[in-house]
A and B are shown apart, each in its own frame.
Chain A
Amino acid sequence: MKRLVGIVAPLALIAVLLGAWEAACRILAIPAYFLPPPSAVAAALVAEAATLTRSALNTLAMAMAALALAAVAALGLALVSAFSFTVERAVRPLALALQVTPMIAVAPLVAIWAGVAHPERAVVALASLAAFFPIFSGALTGLQSADRDLHRLFALYGASRRQTLFRLRVPASAPFVVEGLRVAAGLAVIGAVVAEFVAGSGAAQGLAWRILEAGNRLQTARMLAAIVALALLAGLLHLGFTLVERRFFGRWLENKHALGVD
């Protein structure tokens, strides 16, 4: 019953809002360039389906390339930090500075470095900057999350630092890394869109390009259709990572309490 409510309630709210929006547009005769009715957005979605899908795949490809780059850098750095307290202390403030600096402020700089001829490089670079911190922070937290008594056992059995890292700390960090990747995937999409706004598109035009292009032509329904496609893309990515998390780590995490190994 709760599950049914969880599905029906948000759908009902969306239906009510869309209905109100449609009615308002018709009754108040709002101009289509200002606010097109949802029916017009739906029509644009259908008409532009092929282009939007192509652009969504381009954005997805760049976000995933960025996620992979960020994961390699963040996991590598987290591993080195786990080995050395000095490195961890040295890296943390820099990683934090990277996280709190607004990406949009850095974007023009990265666009210059990437070169006018290679805007897609700027997009990938900026998206990986956006994705870096949650993975790094998740991995670092995860590497420090192993049970204290398990650490004592490893010490008792004379485990080397390498053994403790790879046989205790790394496996214990896995659920945290997946959680970090889930958050980072969303940020990578946001990063890819913001970067495309600033650095522009190369041959591979992403959803940001579609939004800008429609906006410049005052084709607001197409603009909204591209935004809907973007929201769908981000939603599907989030769902994918949540499913992976549940499939592999759900019961493991649930049982941490039962076993007292939290």
Chain B
Amino acid sequence: MAAVAALNAVEVDYPGPKSGRWRALGPFDLVLNAGETVSLVGPSGCGKSTALRLLAGLEAPTRGEVVRAAGRGETALVFQSPTLAPWLDAAANVALPLELAGVGKAAARRRAIEALARVGLAEAASSAPRALSGGMAMRVSLARALVTEPRLLLLDEPFAALDETVRRRLADDMLALVAELGCAACFVTHNVEEAVYVGSRVVVMTPSPGRTAYETAVTAPLPRPAGFRATPLFRDTAETVSARLAQAMEGASA
């Protein structure tokens, strides 16, 4: 499998109070291959989002190396909130990355409407963001990420603010779209079950500064077959990941 992006022994320091500096992340290693979804799970503030920004090329590591086969235009980012521009309708929000890349307005809108149709929102193309429910707004955000057909999709707790039924449906839709594109995805969450459900690999991180505490592969096909949550594989992996996460947190507080 070809690596789309990798973090090699990266460390990120931020300026601390007074003249000191504090380590937010690392040393941390991560490889993202085409066609796989890697879940990063860890406590709040462990540097998960920092790792995503490194992968996106929005931040540089203090030490270590970021390898990115996917260029900037081939990387997409989905945030915890839908982050839609309130002055644009849904289709214009989705068309934005294309227009910024120089695609003509009409062509960009046509592709945006196609992307909206892929997330089941074709009829909402002309809706203002304020008219959309939380789940719909997140689908628009997902359509905006996928409209450029990225090789690398980065998701920063995208479903955290949604209720359980909506987040489950969105997780399935997201996995189907990722499989269709064949891109590499990195999914940040602090929900263990969600991490196991969407990840072909799950990486458990330690509290700040985030390092790898545990890593495991989830050997079921993506998108997940119906009833996957009821299988022993899912339940056992979720139990193990949960235990390892608790262990990592205890280790940090001990």
Chain A contacts to B: CB under 8 angstroms: 147, 149-150, 152-159, 163, 167-168, 171-172, 174, 251-252, 254-256, 258-261
Q: A251-B130, A252-B130 are known contacts. Are A158 and B100 too (CB-CB below 8 A)? A: yes
Chain A residues within 8 Å of B1, by CB: none
Cβ-defined partner of B129 (8 Å) among A159, A167, A255: A255
Task: Please report the C-alpha to C-alpha distance between residue A147 and residue B81 in the assembled complex, in whole angstroms.
Answer: 11
* Among B75, B96, B100, B134: residue with most chain A CB under 10 A: B100
Task: Please report the C-alpha to C-alpha distance between residue A158 and residue B74 in the assembled complex, in whole angstroms.
Answer: 11
Whole-angstrom distance between the Cβ of B158 and the nearest chain A Cβ: 12
Q: A157-B72, A157-B97 are known contacts. Are A150 and B129 too (CB-CB below 8 A)? A: no
Whole-angstrom distance between the Cβ of B245 and the nearest chain A Cβ: 26
Q: A174-B87, A259-B84 are known contacts. Are A152 and B129 too (CB-CB below 8 A)? A: no
Q: Is the CB of A261 within 8 A of B84?
A: yes
How many residues in B have their beta carbons less than 8 Å from beta carbons of A? Answer: 29
Cβ-defined partner of A259 (8 Å) among B53, B86, B100, B148: B86
Chain B residues within 8 Å of A251, by CB: 130
Chain B residues within 8 Å of A256, by CB: 86
Task: Please report the C-alpha to C-alpha distance between residue A156 and residue B75 in the assembled complex, in whole angstroms.
Answer: 7
Cβ-defined partner of A153 (8 Å) among B80, B83, B99, B101: B83
State whether the Cβ of B223 lies closer than 8 Å to any Cβ in chain A.
Answer: no
Q: A157-B73, A171-B87 are known contacts. Are A258 and B58 too (CB-CB below 8 A)? A: no
Task: Please report the C-alpha to C-alpha distance between residue A251 and residue B130 in the assembled complex, in whole angstroms.
Answer: 8
State whether the Cβ of B77 lies closer than 8 Å to any Cβ in chain A.
Answer: yes
Q: A154-B100, A157-B101, A251-B130 are known contacts. Are A261 and B73 too (CB-CB below 8 A)? A: no
Task: Please report the C-alpha to C-alpha distance between residue A163 and residue B97 in the assembled complex, in whole angstroms.
Answer: 11
Q: Is the CB of A261 within 8 A of B82?
A: yes
Whole-angstrom distance between the Cβ of A159 and the nearest chain B Cβ: 5
Whole-angstrom distance between the Cβ of A251 and the nearest chain B Cβ: 6
Q: A158-B100, A259-B130 are known contacts. Are A252 and B86 too (CB-CB below 8 A)? A: yes
Chain A residues within 8 Å of B134, by CB: 258
Task: Please report the C-alpha to C-alpha distance between residue A154 and residue B84 in the assembled complex, in whole angstroms.
Answer: 12
Chain A residues within 8 Å of B81, by CB: 149, 259-261
Whole-angstrom distance between the Cβ of A97 and the nearest chain B Cβ: 33
Closest chain A residue to B80, Cβ basis? A260
Chain B residues within 8 Å of A159, by CB: 100
Q: A157-B101, A158-B101 are known contacts. Are A258 and B130 too (CB-CB below 8 A)? A: yes
Task: Please report the C-alpha to C-alpha distance between residue A251 and residue B132 in the assembled complex, in whole angstroms.
Answer: 13
